[in-house]
């Protein structure tokens, strides 16, 4: 199993800068996410891949004109942009011989960019059942495309904070709890699995009052990767974790990869987080 570090640690940095700083800090595996718009992406990623392992996650490569990915959107323009973006990212993975492309589950609204990670302004929600079925149908189409490219898809669980739940008096996001994770997994092909963000799960479990440990066990067989970070259970703050963090005793050490997704620029501290993961997982074998 490889342990990656999210490029989000160096927010708004170029591919070359992330690669260089990570390499100097001894970080060999990079999960590229977000970042800035750059030209000649394939050439730049190919250069990085010669010296470091890479993954591509969600909103990467960043487009020239920003928008919010939403594979469940009822807005045809947003859906088409999302579908085309994901196909393009899958194709990058294929050309670079990257096994996985991961992306977030859909929403029952089309949030504005500024709302991501913050309070979402209340609007009328799409019908949950119809949106879930639409999302599954669209994932299946993308899975067929990905299979031809020899790429597997991972869907990341969304995070529902208490403030957003109270704002809507409902859940405006798909795939936040085990029931929808299981339904999506049972209705998609074998090249579609889960990327579990433990920070997302902790916040959502507190908001919706369910057992996060039991959820991990229920969906364990579909988990191929994890995003690791800590928070206070109220918001997804991507803080550092420690040996007593709740998720360590529940992690499946046989997954293909783990990504450390903490938002700090102290790369020495990030390296220590990698060492901690290795130490705790090796101690369980």
Q: 125-151, pLDDT tens digit by residue?
A: 999 999 999 999 999 999 999 999 999
**Distance, CA of 124 to CA of 173 (rounded, Å):** 13
pLDDT band at 170 (very low <50, low <70, confident <90, very high): very high
Q: Check whether 284 has a pLDDT greater than 70.
A: no
Please give the pLDDT value at position 95.
97
Q: Are the C-beta atoms of residues 156 and 197 closer than 8 Å to each other?
A: yes
Please report the pLDDT score of residue 282 as a whole number: 83
CA atoms within a 13 Å half-sphere pointing along the CA-CB vector of 166: 6
- The runs of H, that is alpha helices, within the chain are 15-24, 41-49, 76-95, 128-148, 162-168, 178-186, 198-208, 212-218, 267-282
The backbone torsions φ and ψ at residue 2, rounded to the nearest 5 degrees and listed phi first, read -95, 145
What percentage of the chain reaches a pLDDT higher than 90? 89
Domain boundaries, the chain: 2-282
Long-range contacts of 25-29 (CB under 8 A, 24+ apart): 25/267, 25/268, 25/270, 25/271, 26/271, 27/52, 27/267, 27/270, 27/271, 27/274, 28/52, 28/53, 29/2, 29/3, 29/4, 29/5, 29/53, 29/54, 29/55, 29/257
What's the rounded mean pLDDT across residues 79-107? 97
CATH 3.40.50.920 applies to domain 2-282: no
Tokens read off for 4: 């990656």
Residues 262/231, Cβ–Cβ less than 8 Å: no
For the segment 102-125, what is each residue's pLDDT rounded down to a tens digit? 999 999 998 776 555 555 667 789
Per-residue confidence band for 1, with pLDDT thresholds at 50, 70 and 90: confident
CA–chain centroid gap for 241, Å, is 18
When pLDDT is averaged across residues 59-71 and rounded to a whole number, the result is 94
Which residues, 6+ apart, have CB-to-CB distance to 163 below 8 Å? Answer: 119, 235
**CA–CA dist 246, 268 (Å, integer):** 23
- Top pLDDT among 112 and 81 is at 81
Q: Name the nearest CA neighbour of 259 among 23, 31, 25, 9.
A: 31
pLDDT of residue 111: 72
Quick check: 253 and 284 in contact, CB under 8 A?
yes
- Which residue shows structure tokens 């909103």? 59
Say what the pTM is.
Answer: 0.95
Beta-carbon contacts of residue 143 (< 8 Å; ≥ 6 apart): 153, 188, 189, 191, 192
Q: How far, rounded to the nearest angstrom, does the alpha carbon of residue 144 sit from its chain's CA centroid?
A: 20
């Amino acid at each position: 199993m490889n342990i990656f570090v999210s490029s989000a640690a160096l927010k708004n940095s170029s591919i070359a800068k992330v690669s260089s700083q990570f390499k100097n800090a001894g970080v060999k595996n990079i999960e590229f996410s977000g970042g800035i718009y750059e030209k000649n992406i394939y050439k730049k990623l190919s250069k990085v891949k010669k010296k470091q392992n890479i993954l591509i996650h969600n909103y990467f490569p960043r487009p020239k004109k920003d928008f919010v990915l939403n594979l469940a959107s009822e807005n045809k323009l947003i859906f088409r942009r999302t579908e085309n973006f994901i196909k393009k990212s899958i194709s990058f993975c294929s050309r670079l011989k990257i096994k996985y492309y991961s992306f977030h589950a859909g929403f029952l609204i089309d949030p504005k960019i500024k709302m991501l990670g913050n309070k979402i302004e209340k609007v009328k929600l799409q019908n949950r059942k119809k949106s879930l079925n639409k999302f599954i149908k669209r994932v299946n189409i993308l899975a067929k495309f990905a299979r031809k490219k020899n790429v597997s898809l991972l869907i990341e669980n969304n995070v529902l904070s208490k403030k957003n739940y109270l704002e809507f008096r409902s859940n405006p996001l798909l795939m936040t709890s085990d029931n929808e994770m299981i339904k999506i997994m049972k209705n998609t092909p074998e090249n579609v699995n889960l990327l579990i963000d433990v920070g997302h799960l902790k916040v959502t479990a507190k908001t919706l009052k369910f057992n996060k440990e039991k959820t991990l066990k229920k969906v364990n067989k579909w988990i191929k990767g994890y995003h690791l970070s800590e928070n206070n259970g109220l918001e997804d703050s991507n803080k550092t974790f420690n040996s007593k963090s709740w998720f360590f005793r529940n992690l499946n050490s046989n997954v293909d990869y783990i990504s450390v997704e903490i938002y700090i620029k102290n790369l020495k501290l990030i390296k220590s987080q990698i060492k901690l993961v290795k130490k705790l997982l090796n101690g369980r074998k």
